[in-house]
Amino acid sequence: MKNTLKFKTIKVSKKGQIAIPSDIRQELEINEGDELLLVKKGKRIMLEKASEISKELTDEFDDLLTLTESSLKKIWQNKGDEIWKRYLKGKR
């Protein structure tokens, strides 16, 4: 898939519905039943497949987990602490 701009004109129905043109659905592999995330910023909107957003966010939180673990290690210096033992046991 190329990273080029495409412009399409679509109409909004009386119920506020829009149709995504078939060539764009095929290119983005959007199928019936797929969930899309609508993001509004100012007067602009963006649609993206919910599954793609969740993949991106999963990677984004990897660093946060590492930072959290290192912070907890500093707080819980007592390795005999039962909470710490249960936490580490779940990580293996």
Tens of pLDDT, residues 36-70 = 989 899 999 999 888 887 777 666 666 666 666 66
Highest mean pLDDT among 9-13, 58-62, 74-78: 9-13
Q: Which domains does the chain have, with CATH numbers?
A: 1-49 (2.10.260), 61-91 (no CATH)
Q: Is 89 exposed, middle or buried (0-12, 13-18, 19+ CB in 10 A)?
A: exposed
Report yes or no on whether pTM surpasses 0.75: no
Residue type, 72: L
What pLDDT is recorded for position 68? 67
Closest CA to 46 of 36, 31, 61, 54: 36
Can you point out the beta strands (E) in 20-90?
Answer: 36-41, 44-49
